[in-house]
Homo-oligomer: A and B are copies of this chain.
Amino acid sequence: MPALPSEIIKLKRDGKELSKNQIKEFIDSYVSGSVADYQMSAFLMAVYFNGMSKRETFSLTEAMLHSGLVIDLSFLNGSKIDKHSTGGVGDKTSLIIGPIVAAAGVFVPMVSGRGLGHTGGTLDKLESIPGFSTQLSVEQFKDQLSRLGVCFIGQTKEICPSDKKMYALRDVTGTVECVPLICASIMSKKLAEGIDGLVLDVKVGSGAFMKTIKEARILAKALSAIAKGAKKKISVLITDMNQPLGKAIGNSLEVEECFDILKNRGPKDLRDLSIELSAQMIFLGGKAKNLGAARNVAEEILISGKALRLFEEVVSAQGGKLPLPRAQSTYAIVSKKNGFISGFQTESVGLASLLLGAGRKKSDDKIDPTAGVILHYKIGDAVKKGNALATLHYNGDKPIKEVEQMLLDSIEIRLQKPKTPRLILEKVGR
């Protein structure tokens, strides 16, 4: 006889370990509606307090995964490897990595999300390209993967319906910041893509959800454990998010910066991280005998222009038409002092961009694809009074003075030259 939902909640509340079947039944009943939202939220809060064992987290991931369609990509003759980032400001690597890795012969099935709060989302960035569609059917997705090796889509209704429902609930019930729930949410969606392996980019710092390396390590380990349990290859990088990645924040501005990288220009940090993540994926995908060789493959593909040409094909295949649109107005923010850029309050930089229209406060807010911020300096750069620190891109009437003050407060300038921060902090073993 199946247990009452309230009994399952009480078991979790009382610190008992739930069985695989209990978790599966609870999740299935939630999707079918016989467990109510108010029961799920009480359960999630109990999980927040009591945590979940490795076994429970894996059972939750599996239950969420099997609440919907698991895409079967076994017809593709080769490895299927995806990348997931825990989110940051200016984090646009997916657009660069996808074509590099696919050009190396590894299939890249990318199911991405939208931005919320200070962080951007891959779908919003791609959709700033006029006509670009991320709402493909599973058949279209499979078809493009087999032709081009890479395809970018949004989460469909069929994939992990439990995650969609649970995530919306967590957002309004104070149960977002909880490692087992974060892990199950990420991994259930990624496993549903039909992948063989996953490279995770866990961001840590002032622009990330994880503020300390300790927290990032806990998350990285928990994610790795699930991947291993699911018999998937996994590689985790813990990377710096104490300053925006690259210099562009805002959707079409970030796509433009990706084109720069693909054209062998653009900010070094974004290029370095893209190469490293690509190398990890190429190595997991079996297209290089070690990471060093994989890095060389990625570099060659980038330098040769192959990745640029593939990305242009993908844009065209998904309906996108260049050139990118531009905002009508720009405004330069000028430094009030001499010194070195020594730090960013990265989350505030993301929120400044949001205020210009580039992001969402609530999940149903409309965004302006052309709005955003271009930073002109990275940590360690020298700056003089009167130099432009950043350029705002926006349309219509926006709170420019407020955004200016936010950015001036967010960019630290000191007389002493700081140490250049390390970009890749740790690699958590395969």
Residues of chain A whose beta carbon lies under 8 Å from any beta carbon of chain B: 5-7, 9-10, 13, 36-42, 44-46, 48-49, 169, 171-175
Contact = CB atoms under 8 A, between A and B. Distances in A.
Contacts of A49: 45-46, 49
A165 to B, nearest CB: 11
A169 B42 CA distance: 10
A48 B6 contact: no
A73 to B, nearest CB: 36
B45 A42 contact: yes
B6 A42 contact: no
A95 to B, nearest CB: 32
Nearest to A46: B45
A38 B37 CA distance: 6
A42 B44 contact: yes
29 contacts: A6-B173, A6-B174, A7-B174, A9-B173, A9-B174, A10-B174, A13-B48, A36-B38, A37-B37, A37-B38, A38-B40, A38-B41, A38-B169, A38-B172, A39-B41, A39-B173, A41-B41, A41-B42, A41-B45, A42-B42, A42-B44, A42-B45, A42-B173, A42-B174, A42-B175, A45-B45, A45-B46, A46-B49, A46-B174
A13 to B, nearest CB: 5
Contacts of A45: 13, 41-42, 45-46, 49
A174 to B, nearest CB: 4
Contacts of A48: 13
Nearest to A7: B174
A39 B5 CA distance: 17
Nearest to A10: B174
A20 to B, nearest CB: 20
Contacts of A9: 173-174
B46 A13 contact: no
A177 to B, nearest CB: 9
A39 B7 CA distance: 20
A17 B318 CA distance: 52
Contacts of A40: 38
Contacts of A7: 174
Nearest 5 interchain pairs by C-beta: A9-B174, A45-B45, A42-B173, A37-B38, A38-B41
Contacts of A37: 36-38
- Among the interface residues A37, A38, A40, which one has the most CB atoms of the partner chain B within 10 A? A38
Given A37-B37, A38-B37, A49-B49, A172 B44 contact: no
- Among the interface residues A9, A44, A173, which one has the most CB atoms of the partner chain B within 10 A? A173
Contacts of A39: 41, 172-173
Nearest to A48: B13
Nearest to A40: B38
Contacts of A6: 171-174
Contact of A172 (B5, B46, B174): B5
Nearest to A171: B6
Contacts of A13: 45, 48, 174
Nearest to A14: B174
A36 B7 CA distance: 22
- Among the interface residues A13, A41, A46, A171, which one has the most CB atoms of the partner chain B within 10 A? A41
Given A42-B174, A45-B45, A46-B174, 6 more contacts: A6-B172, A13-B45, A36-B37, A38-B41, A39-B173, A46-B49
